Structures are given as structure tokens and as C-alpha cells.
Chain A
Amino acid sequence: MEYGIFQLIIMSIFVNNFVLSRFLGLCPYMGVSKQLDSALGMGMAVTFVMTMASMVTWVLYSFFLAPTYQSVFYLLFDTPIDKIPDLTFLRTIVFILVIASLVQFIEMYIQKVSPTLYKALGIYLPLITTNCAILGVTVLNIDMFFKDGLPLDNSFIHTLVQAFASGIGFTIVLILMAGIREKLELANIPKPFRGLPIAFIVAGLMSIAFLGFAGMSVE
């Protein structure tokens, strides 16, 4: 309600980092973050989908799902205010279908524009659909920037900023992780911990570092 834009950006990237604080976007984090360039490519793709999906779902929720005076049923079809159908229960299905379609388009686009990137991302590209960060940010936008179905002040801008900044935060952490893991490949780690276990422990240590941001007051 009272978020400044700069405050929101800093919060989304550091204080409320999607991976290390909100636990969203972990699967690709563990899988793709072994090499720096694919980490960057994945991060950018995820950021793009997060931003686009947030915009589309914001519009769909405001004008189609929420039974308010902004609903198309009221504006275009003149349904009386108290008879507008409450379609908010369709939120999950509509949002995930939007995301799945967006990822499909991006897949086709990347395949045409940069076949090398397409090959490098491999199976992780369609898997962006199941990335909790994307559905997570769209649901978060509604929970944070809507009240009783109506958007709060500057809701759309806040949604856009939060989505983009969270994606950047995700990308930063992904790249950091990739850098560390590249070095880890050469280190002498006890056998049971090689691979996934040590990745988690490193993530834990990074998370402690990011906790330092938690007390940050961005006024």
C-alpha cells in the first residue's frame, strides 16, 4: 500500500529474495546452476516469463475474475453489481495456463533466434512452467496488491516492478550459485555430499548471508 518503487526493488532483490528467502524457484536453481552461461540464460528467461505472466494475469484477474465494478461483466455487459459472477476460484487454473502458453511461445522464439541457447537450456526450458517462482509471483501479486478484488493504488506498477526485480534477484542468486559450483567441482568433497547435498549446504550459507539484508530499513 505504501511501497516506494525503489524500496520495492531493493526488497524484491535482496530482502525478500525469491530463492533464498521465499523458497521459490528452487528446482532449476539446483539443476541448471552448474554452469555460468546457462545460469544467465535461464535467469533471463525466467525473469522475462515472470514479468510477462504478471502483467497478463493482473489484467485477467482485475477485469475478468474479480466480481468488482472493474469487471468486464459490469463494464461491457451491464450486469448489476451484485450479480457479477465471482470467478476468483478459477485463478489457479487460469494463471497456470497463461504461464504454460507463455513458456511455449518463448520456447519457439528462442529456438528460432538462438539455437545454441535453446540447446544449452535443453529440458529446463519447458520446465520453466513448473517453476514455483513464476506461479508464485503471480499469486503473490494478487495477495499483496489487491484487496477484496480491487487493485490498490499503483497496483499495476507495483506488480510489474516486483515481478521484474524478483526475477533479477533470482538470476543473481543463480549466477552466484553457478560460480560457486564450478569451483566446487574441483574441490575435494566427501563422497556422500558430492552433487546435491553440498549444493544445499552452500545455498544454506548463502541464505545466511542474505539474512543480513532482513533487518535493512529502506526508507
Chain B
Amino acid sequence: MSLLTEFYKGIYKENPVFRLALGLCPTLAVSSSIINAIGMGAATTFVLVCSNTIVALLMFLFNKFLSEEGRKSINKIRIPVFIVVIASFVTIVEMVMAAYFPALSESLGIFIPLIVVNCIILGRAEGFASKNSILPSMMDGLGMGVGFTLALSAIAFLRELLGSGQLIGQTIIGGGFKPVLLMVLPPGAFLVIGIYLGFFNWLDSHRKQS
């Protein structure tokens, strides 16, 4: 399992949104514009990498310096400890964004603190970082984060383009194009994801045939 494999799997094979169906709440809410999508993706990736690293580090230290009995009790408390670690990094993101990227911070709104409950982060901390060493955990976090960002951007691409005729705030389809307002509204989010999911399922079965 080379480090690069750990990174790549998050992008397609185990893409958190399209294959693992994790992190759906922010995906639907924030994918109405590409800038929001990339901003949220970057913030989530930061938290993923940091929390995976610290979780792997903590588990390494616990397993090294604790007795057999100590390790058993750690097992019972590990989820709340992970949550505190994740919540801390999310708080850091909250503060740094409010201080240095106020427009994006206002744009993403309550979904910044909600990064804490993004199933991807706790899922990877519990499912991967707690059982692997530090460097692979970092790569896993990075890959999942990038995969998440790409998924968000793919959805935002369709929603922003069809819903407002713009991309990154610049008008692409001008003159007479009546934007499909539904696309930037909640239904558009559900429909676009449903179609993407169906598409990827079809792609998968098609590949298996050939």
C-alpha cells in the first residue's frame, strides 16, 4: 500500500460523496456555487488531514505507553476524544476564516461549524487513522478531502451554470438564456446528486462488464 495509493483512493474508487455517500449535508447546501464548493472543500480537507494526523499520533502514543488494561479503557473513550480533536480543528477553521476570509465565512454560514459532524471526518478517524500509522493517515485524509472537494465542485459546476448562467461569478451563458432557478434551490441539489450517483453506478457496472 504505497502512500500514493492511500491518496488516490479518495478521489475516485472510494470518493466519499459519490461512492461512500458520506458528508451529504454540506454537499447539498454548499454546492450552489463553485467558490463556496472549493472553500468548503479546502476547509474540510484541512480538518481531515489535521485530525487524521493527530488521531493516528494519539493512538500511537496510547498503544506505546499504556498497559494492556490502559488500552482497553482508552477504547471506550476514543470516540469522544476523536470528537474533541475534530471539534478543535473545526474551531480553528472557524476563527481563521472569520479573520482572514470574512466573505467566504459569511457565505458558508452555519456549515462551517457543521464540519464537525461531517461523517467523512469521524468516519476516517475511526475507520482508518485509529488503525494506521501517521503518514498513511495524512495521505488518506488528503485524498478524501480532495475527493470531497472535487465532488462538491462537480455538483456546483452544474448547479451554478444551469441555475444562474454563471461560473465563479462570471457570466458564461449570456443573452436570452433563462437560468433554471430550480438548480440553485434545494430540489436542484437533490436531483443533481441523484443523477450523478446513478451515473457513477452505471459507469461502475459498465466497467465490470468490459
A interface residues, Cβ below 8 angstroms from B: 20-27, 30, 89-93, 96-97, 100, 127, 129-132, 134-136, 139-140, 143, 190-193, 196-201, 203-205, 207-208, 211
Contacts and interface: CB of A to CB of B under 8 A. Distances in A.
B90 A92 contact: yes
Given A100-B83, A197-B197, A207 B113 contact: no
Given A23-B25, A27-B25, A207 B186 contact: yes
Contact of B186 (A27, A93, A134, A211): A211
A8 B47 CA distance: 35
Contacts of B202: 191-192
Contacts of B91: 89-90, 92-93
Contact of A204 (B116, B194, B201): B194
Interface of B: 21-22, 24-26, 28-29, 79-80, 83-84, 87-88, 90-91, 94-95, 110, 113-114, 116-119, 122, 182, 185-191, 193-195, 197-199, 201-202, 205
Contact of B87 (A30, A93, A190, A196): A93
A contact face: mostly helix, strand, loop, or mixed: helix
A27 B16 CA distance: 13
Contacts of B21: 30, 196
18 contacts: A23-B186, A24-B114, A27-B24, A93-B91, A96-B87, A97-B84, A134-B117, A139-B110, A192-B198, A192-B199, A197-B201, A198-B194, A200-B190, A200-B191, A201-B194, A203-B194, A207-B187, A208-B187
10 nearest CB pairs, A to B: A200-B194, A204-B190, A192-B202, A197-B198, A201-B194, A192-B201, A204-B191, A197-B197, A23-B29, A132-B25
Contacts of A134: 117
Contacts, number: 121
A190 B194 CA distance: 13
A149 to B, nearest CB: 16
Contacts of B116: 92, 96, 135
Which of B88, B90, B190 counts the most A-chain CB atoms under 10 A from its CB? B190
Nearest to A210: B186
A37 to B, nearest CB: 23
Given A92-B113, A100-B83, A200-B193, A30 B186 contact: no
A92 B94 CA distance: 9
Given A92-B90, A211-B187, 6 more contacts: A91-B113, A92-B91, A97-B80, A132-B25, A134-B117, A205-B187
